[in-house]
């Protein structure tokens, strides 16, 4: 496990956030042995990050241009670039890691010899949020004890053991590259195939949330898409048609109960003119609607580079477990 650690930043037209992030990553690169390599993968066909990243070339930062659109393509490029390394760490280009972040992720990975380690991502709101928006809970992130096993995670703060990832035959599903949820499916596949995903609560990063994401419209879409990504992953990894049907039935039953309760809460929130209660109820309703829709393989187009018009549901074929074993696809 003493091999190279690669920290990958995937970026798409966010050059303004890169200097602060790269400054922190370069500072933390020397806290692990051997010194970590910083890899920036620019997913903009126009290569808009090249000049900014080029200024860091002498500090152990490497620039890679991946013009093919889609976050799955960019993540798979990171897997390929780090194929001979020991660990690959993903962090988003709109995040900043806390001091000690990298060393703590690596320490938990080495202690448990696990296939992956995930850490928390807290939110720093760049504009005031209404009680309604805060009530949805979108910006509340779950915390767990360090070392706890988890069934799935996002890739905004994620370490992968490259040897185990390769043995498990995992890659990110290209079909989700313009839709989202590729990281949810990847980590669920990892666990379903026998890999351990551990939590490191001290390895925290903070995400800057701009004003255009602190709106009712955006948080509703996020509730729907996040829940749909989870149920789509669970159904796709069921090992038989019978189990997939059972998973869908369980989701439908739970959704019926929770949505009924949320509807009552929403009505009460309107009566009391309580915006936080209204937001919480709508967040629940939309999340369970997303769970149901995702269980049947449909998710919304969130990232705006898909061929389908923005906001239109994009059908995603749900792979069987046998298909997901074929190169993670």
Angle at 113 between CA 108 and CA 115, to 5 degrees: 95
- What is the per-residue pLDDT for 302? 55
* Cβ neighbours around 143 below 10 Å, total: 12
Select from 77, 293, 324, 322 the least CA-distant residue to 186: 324
Angle at 26 between CA 178 and CA 23, to 5 degrees: 75
Q: What is the pLDDT along the chain (329 residues), one digit of tens a residue?
A: 468 999 999 999 999 999 999 999 999 999 999 999 999 999 999 999 999 999 999 899 999 999 999 999 999 999 999 999 999 999 999 999 999 999 999 999 999 999 999 999 999 999 999 999 999 999 998 899 999 999 999 999 999 999 999 999 999 998 887 777 899 999 999 999 999 999 999 999 999 999 999 999 999 999 998 888 888 888 888 888 998 899 999 999 999 999 999 999 999 999 999 999 999 999 999 999 999 998 988 766 555 554 433 333 333 333 333 333 333 33
Select from 144, 135, 139 the least CA-distant residue to 123: 139
Q: Is 329 exposed, middle or buried (0-12, 13-18, 19+ CB in 10 A)?
A: middle
3-state SS assignment for residue 183: helix
- Distance, in Å, from the CA atom of 107 to the CA atom of 145, rounded to the nearest integer, reads 15
- What is the per-residue pLDDT for 329? 30
- Distance, in Å, from the CA atom of 324 to the CA atom of 308, rounded to the nearest integer, reads 25
CATH class of 5-213: alpha beta
- Alpha-carbon separation of residue 173 from 148, 210, 326 (angstroms): 26, 28, 11
């Amino acid at each position: 496990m003493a091999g190279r650690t690669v920290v990958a930043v995937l970026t798409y037209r966010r050059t303004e956030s890169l200097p602060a992030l790269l400054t922190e990553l370069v500072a933390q690169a020397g806290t692990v042995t051997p010194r970590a390599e910083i890899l920036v993968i620019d997913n903009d066909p126009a290569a808009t990050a090249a000049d900014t990243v080029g200024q860091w070339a002498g500090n152990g930062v490497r620039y890679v241009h991946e013009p093919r659109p889609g976050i799955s393509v960019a993540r798979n490029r990171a897997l390929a670039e780090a194929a001979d390394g020991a660990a690959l760490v993903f962090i988003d280009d709109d995040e900043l890691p806390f001091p000690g972040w990298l060393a703590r992720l690596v320490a938990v990975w080495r202690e448990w010899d696990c296939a992956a380690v995930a850490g928390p991502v807290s939110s720093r709101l760049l504009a005031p949020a209404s009680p309604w928006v805060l009530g949805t809970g979108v910006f509340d992130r779950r915390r767990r004890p360090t070392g706890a096993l988890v069934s799935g995670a996002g890739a905004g703060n994620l370490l992968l053991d490259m040897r185990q990832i390769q043995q498990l035959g995992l890659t990110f599903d290209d079909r989700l590259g313009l839709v989202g949820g590729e990281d949810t499916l990847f980590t669920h596949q990892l666990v379903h195939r026998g890999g351990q995903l551990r939590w490191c609560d001290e390895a925290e990063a903070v995400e800057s949330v701009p004003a255009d994401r602190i709106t009712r419209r955006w948080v509703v879409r996020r509730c729907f898409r996040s829940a749909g990504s989870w149920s789509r992953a669970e159904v796709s990894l069921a090992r038989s048609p019978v189990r997939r049907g059972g998973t869908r039935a369980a989701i439908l039953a739970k959704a019926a109960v929770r949505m009924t309760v949320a509807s009552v809460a929403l009505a009460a929130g309107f009566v009391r003119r309580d915006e936080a209660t209204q937001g919480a109820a709508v967040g629940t309703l939309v999340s369970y609607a997303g769970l149901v829709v995702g269980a049947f393989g449909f998710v919304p187009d969130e990232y705006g580079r898909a061929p389908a018009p923005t906001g239109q549901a994009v059908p995603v074929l749900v792979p069987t477990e046998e298909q997901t074993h074929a190169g993670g696809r």
